Chains A and B, each alone.
Chain A
Amino acid sequence: MEKGILEMVGGEIIGIVSPVSICMLLVVLLVHTLTPHGSSTSVATIAMMIYNEQPNDSFVEKFKGGLLNAIVFVCIVMLVTFVLVGLFYFRFTKCLRVYMGFSAFTVLAWMGGIVAVELIQFFSIPIDIITFAICLVNFASVGVMAVFFCRMPIVLTQGYLVVIGMLVAFWFTKLPEWTTWILLVAMAIYDIVAVLAPGGPLNMLVELAIARDEDIPALIYEARPVLPRQISGPPPMSSSPTPARTRRWSNRRAPRNPGVGRGNSGSNSALDNVWTSNGQPTSLITEPPLAPEVGIIGSRLVSSTGDAGMLNSISTVVAGHQATESNVDEDTVPLVSHGTNNSSTAAALDGMESGTGMHFQGSDQGGSESEDEGLGLGVSGAVKLGLGDFIFYSVLVGRAAMYDLMTVYACYLAIIGGLGATLILLAVWRRALPALPISISLGVVFYFLTRLILDPFVVDLATHLIVF
C-alpha cells in the first residue's frame, strides 16, 4: 500500500518531542516522589550566592533577592561561555572534550548517586554499599563513553543524555521558588541575546564552528544517528544523490572549490552561499546536492530532513514562493546554542564542597559546552536540541509539579507548543535559534494562569461533578 503523506510529515518533530517529554516525565516523577513540596534543605549553589530565600521574607525581598540571584547566575554563565568560546578559538579541543567527559561523569556519578540514595531511602530498597558503588561507577563510566567517545547503540547515547538532563534538572528544582522562576525567565532572555545578538557568545561560537567546519564538542541530543562519511574527492557533478535523502540544507562548496574538503575557503563559500541565497538565485545552484557533503560538514550544520519531513516541507512551501530550488538547497544551518548549565552543575558542586576554594578551572567542571543548548538541524535529518534546553524545560515542569499535577499538564502543553513553534521558525528562518524563550515564556505564563485561575475553576466544577 502506498504510503500517504500523513506517514511522513512530522517525524523529526516527534523525534525531539519524545525525549523532551520523557525527560520531563522522569523529573516530575522524581519531584513528586522525593520532594513534593520543595526541598526542605536549601542547597548552597552559585545561584544562591547573594540571597538565600527564606519562607517568611516579604514579597519585595524575595523578588529582589531572586532577581539578584538570577543576574549573578546569568553573568557567571556568560563568563563561562566566553571562556568556552576562547578555548574553542584557540583550538584547545582536547581540553574541551576531557572537560566535558569529566563533567558528564560528575553529573552521573555524583548527582546520580545522591538521587539514587534518596530513592533507596524512600523505597527502602535493600542494597549494600559495595554493590551500589560498583553499579554507580559502572553506570557513570558507560555514560561518559556513550556520550562522547565510543560508538554505541544510539538508544543508549540518547538514554544517557536524557538521564544527565534529568539529574541536573532535578538538582535545579531544589532551588527556592522565586529564584527558580526568575532564573528561568533570565535564562530565556540571556538565550535570545547570546544567540541572536552579533556579539553574543553563542553566536560567535556557532560562527567559528561554521567557519572552521568543525564540530563543537558539546552535549547535544540528536534524534537520529550521525552517519559518518569520508570525503573522497570532488563531489561528482552528475545528478543523483542518494534518493532517499533529499538534502534541504547543504553546504554548497562543490561548485566553487571542487577539490577542497574541509577547507576554510570551502566554508567561506558556504557562508557566502548563505547570504546570497536569500532570494537571489546564483549560478552555483545548478548542481544537485551531494550525499558525501552531508557527513563532512560536521554534525550540526547540515540537515537533510528526509523526503517529506515536516521541516523540509515547511521550507519547501515557503521557498516555493521565492526564487528557485537553489534557494532551498543552499543554506547551511548553524546550530544554536546557549551554553550553560554546566556552570550550575559546577555551582552545585561548589555548594557540596562547602564553597572551599574552587578555582575557576574547577568551577567549569560542568564545562559550559558540555550542556550546550540549542536547536538546529543535524546531518541525518534529525533535529538537534542542546541538553540545556531539556534541563530548563524539565526544571519548569518539575517546579510546576511541586504545586499540583494540573499545572504540570498545562506547562507541558505550553512547552511542547513553544518547541513546535520554535521548530517551525527554524524551518522558516534557517538560522540558529534559541530554543528557550518561546517555551519558557509560554510555560511561565501558563503556570501562573493555571495556578491562579484555572485550578480553582476546574476543581470547583469537578467537585460538583459538572463537566463540559
Chain B
Amino acid sequence: MGNTILEALNVRVVGTSQRPFLVLAHGFGTDQSAWQRILPFFTPHYQVVLYDLVCAGSVNPDYFDFGRYTTLDAYVDDLLTILDALRIDRCAYVGHSVSAMIGILAAIRRPDLFSKLILIGASPRFLNDKDYHGGFEQGEIEKVFTAMEANYEAWVNGFAPLAVGADVPAAVREFSRTLFNMRPDISLFVSRTVFHSDLRGLLGLVRVPCCIIQTAKDVSVPASVAAYLKSHLGGRTTVEILNIEGHLPHLSAPALLARVLQRALLSR
C-alpha cells in the first residue's frame, strides 16, 4: 500500500538529506506545482515532501473513490500513510486551504508526528453559523455549486481571478490550469465535502504549535476566522497577516510568503 500511494499521489521528496522534513500540502484546485516557486527557498534547509491530494487534476481520477472521500478523514489517512511510508517520524507541515484542515485533523490524530503546523488560508468552517462568520451562506454555496454544474469552464474562468484576488495574470493562469485539470464532478464533490466540513469543535484537540498565515483580503476566508482559529486552537498559535490580497499567496506573492514561512518555521 505504502509505495502504491506514493506513486498514485505523485509523492516527491526534494531537498537536502539529513535535514528536517517539511511537508508542503496544496489546497483545493491546485496541485503540488503550486509550490514550485516557494520550493527553492526551502530545498537547501529541508527535505521537502510534496504530494498531490487525491482530488488534484494531476492524480488519476480513477483513484478518487466517491465512497471513500466523503469526509476529510480519508484525506488525513492518505497523508498519514504517505508519511509512514516515507518513514518520517517528525515533520513540519505547511497546508493551504483544505490541506490546512487536513493538517489540523492529522495533528489531532498523531500529535507526535508534527513539530509545527503552518496553515495558509485556513478555515475550520466556511459556512456561517450563529456566532460564527465563515464567509459563506448556505444559499450562496448552493448557487456556486449550481454554477459549477452548469458550466465548469465558465465557473473556473470566473472563480480563478476571484480567488487569486490580485492582478497577477500568471497566478490566475496557473490556478485556472490546475483547477481546470480537476475533473468537474470530482471538483464539485470535493468542494461539497469541504463546505460541509466543520472543524470548530476539534480545534482544542490540537496540541501542535500552529502558525496561521492569512492574507489581508481573502474571498474564501474572512479575517475574523484567523482570530477564531487563534483563540480556539489548543497549541501555541501565532497569526501572520500578509499585506496582500487573495487566497493563493504562494502563487501571487511567492517571495513574500517564502520569507514569512521561513520565519514561521524558525520561530519556536
A and B interact = no
Residues of B within 8 A of A (CB): none
